[in-house]
Amino acid sequence: MTLRTQHPTAMSSRILQVGTVLATTILVLVSFRAMGGDVTAVSVDAASRVVKLYGAGGIRGLESYQTGILVSPSGHILTALSTAIDSEVIDCVLDDGRRYTASLVGADLRRELAVLKIDDTNLPFFKLSADSPRQAVGTRVLALSNLFGVAVGDERVSIQQGVIAAHVPLRARRGSHEAAYRGDVYILDCTTNNPGSPGGCLVTWQGNCIGMLGKELRSAENATWLSYAIPTNELALGLEAILSGRNNESLAGEREASEFDIQSLGLELVPDLLNLTPPFVEAIVPNTQAAKADLQADDLIVAVGNCTVTSQRGLRQELSYLIPGDPIQLNIIRNGRIILVDLGVVPSLTEHRGKR
Amino acid sequence: MQAIHNRTVTKETGRRVIIVILIPLLATACPVVFSAGNNDTLPEVLSTQQERIRVIEIAAKTSVSVFAGSSGGGSGVLISPDGYALTNFHVVQPAGIAMRCGLNDGKLYEAVLVGLDPTGDLAVIKLIGKDAFPYAPIGDSDIVSVGDACYTIGNPFLLATNLQPSVSAGIVSGVHRYQFPAGTLLEYADCLQVDAAINPGNSGGGLFNARGELIGINGRASFEKRGRINVGAGYAISSNQVQNFLGILKSGHLADHATLGATVATSADGRVVVSDILESSDTWRKGLRIDDEIIELAGRSVRSVNAFKNILGTLPAGWRIPVVFRRAGRPSEIFVELAGVHTPAMLNELMAGRRAPPSENKPGDSPKPKPNPLAPNPKDLPELIRKLYEPRFGYANFHFNRIELQRVRDVLQRRKSASEKQETSWRYQGQLAAGGSFEIELDDQSATISLPTGISRWEQAAADAGLSAEAGFDSSPPGSGGMLAALTMWRRLLIKGAQNIDGRITYWGQQPLYSTSTNQLADVLELTTSSCRSRFFIDEFGNVSHVTFFLGSSSTSCDLHFTGLSKRGPYWQPTHLTVDYDGDRFATFHFEKGEQKGR
């Protein structure tokens, strides 16, 4: 910025320069604030739209409390469908300590959502939209919830920070977490799904509601717990379905479930009578994938892809991880030799229904 | 994007304008693109990161890794250059009086137990071997907000075998949380909840804010069904609770928490009202009754039962606190001395970590030696520690009471409130606020007061003989609860500076002086003689501004409050004195004339 040659316009140019730098600084600072410089303000504002719920439970492993999100000014509360709200009396506590008794409006069994209602007006709420954009992986988020029931009385719900680690269908998680919901979820990099967290609110650092913390899910296989949230667009569809009395709404962008079974490939296994019945082929249906791949009766299936299977149950489980379009490659033992058999790809759901 | 550096601004203003618009847009839309190591990273991001690194570097130096051999270990944090450090009770309980502590300078230091608060899960230890330890400044936990950045620094899973502490970042998830005690121990009242990782081994370590101030002591986490690992909900004892107990702990005490002797409940209209009250409590004596609405406790508003428990849970037994309550629409304020949750004998058992049958310990008995790491045979201690340890009933380590007592003595000596010559008697004349004049004369062994209602006298010899108690002379003048005796004790303290004073003098701890506008805590000395017990509140300048006086074993107090200090000759003396007995105002004295004259 040293001035060497003075053009007639140099002075005005300098003023502009200084002005530009100033403006840049101010705008950057402002935008920094929007980026989440003020987590406190965002948290406090979001917490006013989140409620603590107290219902039935308290028995080992089943909590009697959870969280809910206010979704209308007239007291509609969206929460996770769980045993906690399976109660005649559901107590609801707002951020400012106001207490209500909530009634159940309806439930969406597929999304495992429930709508409750308290009687009041002009309540703060989050407006949920069915066309909310998907949040990018890496987005910084805040999770607000009644975790562990530590926020008693008029205390504010707990606030945790994290990052969206993935956006995937829930059932894509290997390890079969038991959940009815099979749509997309945000996987979070922090432990947000704790006792009391279901129904909690996921917001960005700008304070927009982008999802709801789901039920606690624990893998039956490796005992890990999943921290995830159901995205807002799915919530909006569920809310609309419940309020309009429809209950068979399909999930947004639902991926076709690959619920094909071994039979649909055209192969029959020996009767599964034992815990570890070996996956011996009993018979092959002509003109099917199995027949085309030249599978034969008495073949023993020992692997799906790279994964060894030792039982029919194991085989079914491995196949359940595949989604339409995935290649199906089996290793079999025939006459003491291992043979690789290519069965093509997993058929799409419609295609395979059509065949039936 | 480099264009926001002045140096690289180009000649074309047009380009600059585009840049001005672009940067904020980018910043808003995709904050994650600014990853570290990228040359295009915003300078603000880099400077924030540099600041964080700087803060953590300084804070990590104050982090203590506590190793207790086979008994486990934990964390701690240094709070003074002479080596005092905070940790959890549940860390030092298995460790015992002597422990080894590592700092991130790579050295191991011997440490000795100083004070214990089993109820609040707090302990003070002192590291030995350095004159200028790095230490953490203590912040104000009441101004911590949800969403504030925070760091936990400590020794999780005892990983710090190389003495380098682990650091975890997070946000404050909740403030003013209440975590129930186990029995009567390890109660976390008014604590901070964070999502920075707190794992086993982090116990006793520091919770720092973004400026590197110590705002809490990590000690607890919600675990339940997921095993003993962090699940994003950890709790820290607030630094303000630590401050309340620090004076008591640094002086070697076995601290106790407070009870009001009353329970509260939420009424149908949402008010916090007294639901039950002990008639033996000081609170009852001061006039609190069932159904009174509690408005304020120790200067903090009580809006819920939880708030009541939160406030009370952070206060030490023995504190004198204001309670504001409302009855029939009218508010009143009383000053109450808080009772302890435990008896000293119970605390002693709790310190040992197991409860003996109640018949074994009678109050006042000295404890029998038990195989207990917190009450060891001094012979078993390392040479260095043995010199710094003195067992005494009711204390974790009485050695440090002597040190604090000496510190206050020095403060008193420097202040020079009185001549050290004992042969002088003191005389005050002046007006009573209620009207009329008075005259007080104080000697070493006696005191006389002349009031419009008559003349009263107090004599040490009579008090010692127990003769005057029946005649009521001990509490003279009548209705004051022992004002003359209290003034005599006050005079003795000023003259002798707490040295060679008759009776047993100890350092009690620190207490707030609610009469002053500041929240400064005053040092409190306790003098016990055969006939009375006095507590002297000494401010940072060395002025004795308050005396609480108990006659015999009575729990009703005579409170002397001195204000308006001015210099009389070379000595600092008060100009106003108010006297309260059992919470009721006895009289207010304005000293118009005061002298210390030879006999």
**Which among A40, A97, A156 has CB closest to B174?**
A156
Cα A154 to chain center, whole Å?
30
Alpha-carbon radius of gyration of chain B:
28
Residues 6+ apart with CB under 8 A from A241: A108, A247, A249
Handedness of CA A319, A323, A324, A325 (dihedral sign): negative
Best mutation target, A18, A146, A147, to test chain B (most B CBs within 10 A): A147
Q: Say yes or no for a CB contact (<8 Å) between A35 and B27.
A: yes
Distance from CA of A146 to the nearest CA of B (A): 11
Residue A5: the pLDDT is 35
With a cut of 80, say whether residue B400 has pLDDT above it: yes
Lowest-confidence range among A176-190, A204-218, B2-16, B481-495? B2-16
Q: Which two tokens stand for residue B458?
A: 């107090």
Q: How many residues does chain B have?
A: 599
Q: Crossing angle, helix B239-250 and helix B399-415, to 10 degrees?
A: 90
Q: Which helix (H) or strand (E) holds B567?
A: strand B566-568
B576-581: strand order across its sheet = B454-459, B446-451, B437-442, B424-432, B584-598, B576-581, B557-563, B544-551, B532-538, B521-528, B504-512
**Cα distance from B366 to chain A (closest Cα, Å)?**
41
Interface A-B: count of C-beta contacts within 8 A: 141
pLDDT, residue A154, reads 82
For residue B13, give the nearest of A13, A150, A157 by CB distance: A13
pLDDT over 80 at B308, yes or no? yes
User: pLDDT confidence of B18, banded at 50, 70, 90?
Assistant: very low
* Separation in Å, CA of B274 to nearest CA in chain A: 18
pLDDT of residue B131 exceeding 60: yes
- Give the DSSP letter string of A153-166: TTPPPEEEEEEEEE
Q: What is the pLDDT of residues B375-395, one digit of tens each?
A: 777 777 888 899 999 999 999
Burial B9-23 (b: 16+ CB within 10 A, else e): beeeeeebeebbeeb
Domain with CATH 2.40.10.120 in chain A: 43-243
- For A43-243, the fitting CATH number among 1.10.287.90, 2.40.10.120, 1.20.20.10, 3.40.50.10800 is 2.40.10.120
SS (HEC) of A17-77:
HHHHHHHHHHHHHHHHHHHHHCHHHHHHHHHCCEEEEECCCCCCCCCCEEEEEECCCCCEE
How would you write the pLDDT of chain A (356 residues) with one tens digit per residue?
333 333 444 444 444 454 444 444 444 443 344 444 589 999 999 999 999 999 887 676 678 899 999 999 999 999 999 888 888 889 999 998 899 999 999 998 888 899 999 999 999 999 999 988 999 999 999 999 999 988 887 889 999 999 999 998 886 555 455 677 878 999 999 888 889 999 999 999 999 999 999 988 887 667 778 899 999 999 999 999 999 887 655 555 444 444 567 777 888 898 888 888 899 999 998 888 888 889 999 999 999 988 889 898 888 878 877 777 788 899 999 999 999 999 888 876 554 443 43
Nearest to B233 among A23, A139, A150 (CB): A150
Exposure letters A42-59 (e unless 16+ CB within 10 A, then b): bbbebbbbbbbbbbbbee
Q: Tell me the β-bridge partners of A300.
A: A280, A333
Q: Give pLDDT, residue B473.
A: 62
Q: Write out the H or E segment, with its range, that includes residue B446.
A: strand B446-451
Q: B173 vs A139: CB contact, 8 Å cut-off? A: no
Half-sphere exposure of A316 (CA within 13 A, CB side): 14
Round to whole Å and give the CA distance between A250 and B131.
71
Residue with tokens 């990983």: B159
Contact call for A21 and B147, based on CB within 8 A: no
Residue of A nearest to B222 (CA): A148
> What is the DSSP-derived secondary structure letter of residue B288?
-
Q: Do B7 and A150 touch (CB under 8 A)?
A: no
Residues of A in contact with B304 (CB under 8 A): 97, 153-154
Find the CB nearest B174 among A1, A23, A158. Answer: A158
pLDDT band at B472 (very low <50, low <70, confident <90, very high): low
Which residue, B143, B117, B160, is CA-closest to B316?
Answer: B117
Catalytic residue, candidates B203, B251, B468, B475: B203
Residues 6+ apart with CB under 8 A from B525: B405, B408, B493, B498, B505, B506, B507, B508, B535, B536, B538
pLDDT at residue B463 greater than cutoff 90:
no
Contact yes or no for B174 and A150 at CB 8 A: yes
Q: Give the architecture-level CATH label for domain A263-355.
A: Roll (2.30)
CB contact under 8 A, A24 and B3: yes
Report how far residue A215's alpha carbon sits from residue B349's, in angstroms, rounded to the nearest whole number: 44
**SS3 of chain A: helix, strand, coil, percent, to 5:** 25, 30, 45
The answer for residues whose C-beta is within 8 angstroms of residue B141's C-beta and 6 or more apart is B192, B215, B216, B238, B239, B240, B241
Please give the domain boundaries of chain B with CATH numbers for all domains: 2-41 (no CATH), 141-240 (2.40.10.10), 258-340 (2.30.42.10), 415-598 (2.50.20)
Contact indicator for B135, B62 with CB cutoff of 8 Å: yes
Q: Which two tokens stand for residue A223?
A: 């005992």
Q: How far apart are CA B189 and CA B223, in angstroms?
A: 18
Helices B43-61 and A10-32 cross at an angle (nearest 10°) of 50
Residue B90 a catalytic site member: yes
Alpha-helical (H) ranges within B320-445 are 344-352, 383-386, 399-415
Helices (H), B168-299: 239-250, 282-285
Whether residue A20 and residue B232 make contact (CB cut-off 8 A), yes or no, is: no
User: Three-class SS string for B187-218?
Assistant: CEEEEEEECCCCCCCCCCCEEEECCCCEEEEE
Contacts of A149 in chain B (CB under 8 A): none
Helix/strand/coil for B532: strand
Please indicate whether, in this complex, the C-beta atoms of B231 and A194 are within 8 angstroms of each other: yes
Q: How far is A32 from chain B (nearest CA, A)?
A: 7
pLDDT tens digits for range B28-51: 334 444 444 456 778 988 999 999
| Residue B116: pLDDT over 90 | yes
* Predicted pLDDT at B133: 97
* Minimal C-alpha gap between B220 and chain A (Å): 13
CA gap B244, A281 in Å, rounded: 76
CA distance B525 to B519: 19
**Cα B439 to Cα B433: distance, rounded to the nearest angstrom:** 14
User: Which DSSP string do the residues of A98-129 spell out, in sequence order?
Assistant: -EEEEEEEEEETTTTEEEEE---SS---PPP-
Partner residue facing A158 (CB), from B16, B17, B233: B233
Active site residue B292: no
Beta-carbon contacts of residue B306 (< 8 Å; ≥ 6 apart) = A152, A153, A154, A155, B178
Question: Given an 8 Å threshold on Cβ–Cβ distance, is B177 in contact with A150?
Answer: yes
What is the dihedral angle through the alpha carbons of A96, A99, A105, A108, rounded to the nearest 10 degrees? 60
Within chain A, all domains assigned CATH 2.30.42.10 are found at 263-355
> Given B63, B90, B176, B474, which residue is catalytic?
B90
User: What one-character-per-residue DSSP string does A181-218 give?
Assistant: --SEEEEESS----TT-TT-EEEETT--EEEEE---EE
Distance from CA of A196 to the nearest CA of B (A): 12
User: If DSSP codes are grouped into helix, strand and coil, which group holds residue A247?
Assistant: coil
In this prediction the pTM is: 0.79
Give the span between the Cα atoms of A147 and A194, in whole angstroms: 6
Q: Which residue has the higher pLDDT, B353 or A356?
A: B353
| C-beta atoms of A154 and B3 within 8 A | no
Provide, as residue numbers in chain A, all residues whose Cβ is less than 8 Å from the Cβ of B233.
Answer: 147-148, 150, 158, 160, 194
The pLDDT assigned to B230 comes to 87
pLDDT tens track for B194-241: 999 999 999 999 999 999 999 999 998 887 777 788 889 999 999 999
For residue B44, give the nearest of A23, A32, A161 by CB distance. A32
- Measured between beta carbons, the chain B residues lying within 8 angstroms of A1 are 6-7, 9
One-letter identity of residue B416: K
Active-site residue identified among B117, B121, B256, B292: B121
Q: Note if B257 is an active site residue.
A: no
Cβ–Cβ < 8 Å for A49, A126: yes
Contact assignment for B32 to A191 by CB distance below 8 Å: no
Q: Which of B231, B302, B305 to mutate to test the interface with A (most CBs of A within 10 A)?
A: B231
C-beta neighbour count of A61 within 10 angstroms: 11
- Between strands B122-128 and B454-459, the pairing is unpaired
Amino acid at B194: V
Residue range B556-561: mean pLDDT, rounded: 90
Residue B283 makes CB contacts below 8 A (sequence gap 6+) with B260, B261, B262, B277, B323, B334, B336
What percentage of chain B reaches a pLDDT higher than 70? 86
- For residue B176, the chain A residues in CB contact (below 8 A) are 155
Of residues B351 and B518, the one with the higher pLDDT is: B351
CB spacing of B147 vs A30 below 8 angstroms: no
pLDDT bucket at B331, cuts 50 / 70 / 90: very high
- Indicate if ipTM > 0.90: no
* C-beta pairs of B126-132 under 8 Å, 24+ apart in sequence: B126/B82, B126/B83, B126/B84, B126/B85, B126/B388, B126/B400, B127/B64, B127/B78, B127/B83, B127/B84, B127/B85, B127/B101, B127/B103, B128/B83, B128/B384, B128/B388, B129/B83, B130/B83, B131/B81, B131/B82, B132/B81
CB A250 within 8 Å of CB A238: no
Q: Residue B96 in contact with residue B374, Cβ under 8 Å?
A: yes
Q: Which residue in the set A13, A155, A160 is minimally distant from B195, CB to CB? A: A160
